[in-house]
Structure 1
Amino acid sequence: MAFRYLNTVFALLPGMPPTNIVRELVSRFFSQGRWFQPVRYGGVGTDARFEPGAFDPDVLAASYDEARRFFIGAKTDRDFLHFSPERDGRYPFVGSFSWMTSIGEARTARWREAHLRQVVEIMQLLGSPLAQSGLEDDFERKNWRLIPSEYGFGSERVFNVRDYSEGLSGLYWRNVFGAPFVDLFGPRLDAIPASQRQSLDGGLVLVQPYELPTQAMTPEGDTAESQLIATLGREAFFDLPTLTKPTRVPDVSWMLRKH
């Protein structure tokens, strides 16, 4: 049976996060949060296995030192983490950290509350300017499209928005904005109904169109997202019907100077 995934994607700052940050990140998942039992690690599709028993973050840290990215999976493909920072400087804002799990986890209010706390903690640890969480199918339809191949047969998959420096591909179940987006939207955030907006620690702001991630890709969910996009300003989002890229983007120049 195919899994229906909940994907939480954290945008990374330019450059390679130091090993001590990566060690702390995985410790929070597996020594403190225990979100799933880690079994596999390394690169995607790897056969490397953690030793049975208590999770040892140093094993993962050593792998990261060598590969400068990592994958951690459960015994099955139900749960996994993928940490992929930008490594060559060509596109400095493309780095991301993805956390995938079954959409079924979000059925309970307790899990959703813990998820939001974890998102805030991770964003603060990584200095992440943006985190978005929702159905993996929703990410796919908003971030990618197929175009005819330049070779005259078949098609190829291309992105709509490369990364957060180019604006946003859309809104999802949860959208946690850091300073660049809080500055970009300004008082427009205050115009969002209190039931769909929440101020979080560290100046982060949550925008959540609907209560449950399963409401994505429904007429009601699409309407709620569209209304909030109109409030925030459509020019900050990719327009799929016209294939128009955002014309209002966050100021991320300070990130390059810092890193």
Structure 2
Amino acid sequence: MGERFEPGSSVPDALADRYDEFKSFFIGAKTDRDFIYLSPERHGKYPFAGAFGWVTSVVEARKAGWREAHLRQVVEIMHLLGSPLVQSGLDDDFERKNWRLVPTEYGFGSERVFNVRDYSEGLSGLYWRNVFGAPFVDLFGPRLDAIPASQRQSLDGGLVLVQPYALPTQAMTPEGAAAESQLIATLGPDAFFDLPTPRKPTRVPDVSWMLHKH
């Protein structure tokens, strides 16, 4: 965010140079509401290869055309990166499900810790849109077929979309929470982090192939 790129054909080269130097990038648009980032796992300790994401105003999701384009873009990027999982929803919902505060070992104050490190440890929950690749399709198996057709869609390349509700703003509402809980019960709660307990998933996807690939 400390460097400004002037529009033009040189931007891709500038981004590539920056990635070569820092092995990641985070870009904010002039709107100060649109961001894109790439942050690979550089230590090689885990099968998780890294994250690619983009952020915009939730207002955009009110438009049916935007939602259709979003899903097409997700599928294209998953195929491009070989990603087994995409999750899309409200930032507050991600914060709530991925992180929690626990007392420090020193006996005073608290610290922020993750619930699951990455998808190799299972899922933190369901969000507005959840697109599952082969490891998760194999993990859930016929349970995916038990999800109502209004909340499930088969996509190109064997990907499967699970969408509890129509709009991301329905997250963290009583209706949205009930829809998520019902789908988690269908897919198997042991594959998801349980916030009230808190309990880590005991059923996880097989991502051993990623260790060999990366």
TM-score, structure 1 normalization: 0.80
Residues 94, 162 of structure 1: 8 Å contact kept: no
1:50 equivalenced with 2:36 (yes/no)? no
Q: Amino acid of the residue matched to residue 120 of structure 1? A: V
User: Which runs of structure 2 are paired with 1:42-191 in the superposition (5 Å)?
Assistant: 46-53=1-8, 56-93=11-48, 95-191=50-146
Question: How many Å separate the matches in 1 of 2:86 and 2:162?
Answer: 11
Q: Amino acid of the residue matched to residue 187 of structure 1? A: P
1:248 equivalenced with 2:176 (yes/no)? no
Question: How many Å separate the matches in 2 of 1:133 and 1:81?
Answer: 14
For residue 184 of structure 2, what is the aligned residue in structure 1?
229
Residues 99, 112 of structure 2: 8 Å contact kept: yes
Distance 1:176 1:55, change over 3 A: farther
Offset, 1:208 = 0.1
Deviation track 1:199-254 (CA, whole Å, cap 9, x = no partner) reads: 00010000000000000000000000000000000100011111111111000111
Distance 1:55 1:199, change over 3 A: farther
Q: Percent identity?
A: 82
Question: How many Å separate the matches in 2 of 1:257 and 1:50?
Answer: 37
Question: How many Å separate the matches in 2 of 1:84 and 1:50?
Answer: 19
Residues 94, 163 of structure 1: 8 Å contact kept: no
The gaps in structure 1 that reach 5 residues or longer are 1-45
Distance 1:94 1:125, change over 3 A: closer
Offset, 1:92 = 3.6
Residues 134, 213 of structure 1: 8 Å contact kept: yes
Q: Amino acid of the residue matched to residue 86 of structure 2? A: A
Offset, 1:81 = 1.0
Question: How many Å separate the matches in 1 of 2:9 and 2:57?
Answer: 24
Aligned residue for 2:89, secondary structure, equals strand
Q: Amino acid of the residue matched to residue 110 of structure 1? A: G
For residue 153 of structure 2, what is the aligned residue in structure 1?
198
Question: How many Å separate the matches in 2 of 1:155 and 1:76?
Answer: 35
Offset, 1:53 = 4.0
Q: Amino acid of the residue matched to residue 165 of structure 1? A: S
Question: How many Å separate the matches in 1 of 2:30 and 2:120?
Answer: 36
Residues 90, 168 of structure 2: 8 Å contact kept: yes
Question: How many Å separate the matches in 2 of 1:224 and 1:55?
Answer: 46
Aligned residue for 1:150, secondary structure, equals coil
Offset, 1:54 = 5.1
Aligned residue for 1:61, secondary structure, equals helix
Report the aligned-residue RMSD.
1.2
Question: How many Å separate the matches in 1 of 2:167 and 2:10?
Answer: 31
Offset, 1:75 = 1.8
Aligned residue for 1:190, secondary structure, equals helix
Q: Which runs of 4+ in 1 moved over 3 A?
A: 52-55
